[in-house]
Amino acid sequence: MATHTGGLVLEKAVEVRGLVRSYGDRAVLDDLDLSIAPGEFVALLGKSGSGKSTLLRALAGLDHDVDGHGELVVPANVSVVFQDSRLLPWARVLDNVVLGLRTANAENRGRQSLAEVGLAGREKAWPNELSGGEQQRVALARSLVREPELLLADEPFGALDALTRLKMHALLRKLCAAHRPAVLLVTHDVDESIVLADRVIVLDEGRVAAEQRIEPAISRSPADPGFAAVRSRLLDALGVSL
């Protein structure tokens, strides 16, 4: 099970060896190995049902039934962002961000985080007064105010329109450059994975089927032929032929 490391500096932010998760006699995660370096951004692609969310839940400590013989090491400080913002409807935006935060200056830090995600001045708003994109910004602020060593994101932009999604990509890049958490992002969007990640992993039937390192020069230029080549390699690994 997950070993929490207190304040130790790890060589790897995530180290998974031989992880198994079964439902009945079906192994959804099948002897899975994965490591993520501190500050590294890894995107996880895979067909529906390939085990992406199951892996994320195991890393988040939300799954108490992962089989005990695997090794799973994650930092003590992990934050999770989901497809829906999961804001508390009865709490104002700032209260949502700082709720449960037990540090000095929690409120100031919350304000700062909201400013970082472009929501300065909206501290007193109620969640239902915000657009879907704004609500996801609050969810990001709520995660990052905790300065996580590991940020887990399960299709955080999946419900947003294309334009808002592009803006959120730019925002997430900026936030990750500033805070340097290790990131595992589950996505169905191949281009999103190339734009955001240092490394893309394709999961198939609970195992790593392919792995692709993304050069920064490529990720910043979707018009680059290198981008198209990486996209086509990833689509191949996903079993999609165009």
Ligand X SMILES: Nc1ncnc2c1ncn2[C@@H]1O[C@H](COP(=O)(O)OP(=O)(O)OP(=O)(O)O)[C@@H](O)[C@H]1O
Interacting span for ligand X (CB under 6 A) from 52-60, 107-115, 133-141, 213-221: 52-60
* 3-class DSSP string for the chain: CEECCCCCCCCCCEEEEEEEEEECCEEEEEEEEEEECCCCEEEEEECCCCCHHHHHHHHCCCCCCCCCCCEEECCCCEEEECCCCCCCCCCCHHHHHHCCCCCCCHHHHHHHHHHHCCCCCCCCCCHHHCCHHHHHHHHHHHHHCCCCCEEEEECCCCCCCHHHHHHHHHHHHHHHHHHCCEEEEECCCHHHHHHHCCEEEEEECCEEEEEEECCHHHHCCCCCHHHHHHHHHHHHHCCCCC
Number of residues that bind ligand X (CB under 6 A): 10
| Least Å from the CB of residue 222 to ligand X | 23
| Least Å from the CB of residue 217 to ligand X | 30
Q: Which of 2, 13, 19, 28 binds ligand X (CB under 6 A)?
A: 28
| Least Å from the CB of residue 52 to ligand X | 4
| Least Å from the CB of residue 78 to ligand X | 18
Amino acid at 217: A
Q: Which of 13, 34, 43, 52 binds ligand X (CB under 6 A)?
A: 52
Using rule CB under 6 A, residue 239 touches ligand X: no
Q: Which of 7, 48, 162, 223 binds ligand X (CB under 6 A)?
A: 48
Q: Could you tell me how many residues make up the chain?
A: 242
Residue placing its CB nearer to ligand X in the complex, 49 or 121? 49
Residue at token pair 């799954």: 63
Using rule CB under 6 A, residue 53 touches ligand X: yes
Q: Which residues of 64-101 are buried (b: 16+ CB within 10 A; e: fewer)?
A: eebeeebebbbbebbbbbbbebebeeeebbbebbbeee
Q: Which of 49, 121, 222, 239 binds ligand X (CB under 6 A)?
A: 49
Using rule CB under 6 A, residue 65 touches ligand X: no
Q: Which of 14, 16, 46, 78 binds ligand X (CB under 6 A)?
A: 46
Interacting span for ligand X (CB under 6 A) from 46-54, 66-74, 142-150, 217-225: 46-54
Interacting span for ligand X (CB under 6 A) from 48-56, 87-95, 120-128, 138-146: 48-56
Residue placing its CB nearer to ligand X in the complex, 23 or 90? 23
Interacting span for ligand X (CB under 6 A) from 11-19, 47-55, 72-80, 89-97: 47-55
- Site residues, ligand X (CB under 6 A): 23, 28, 46, 48-54
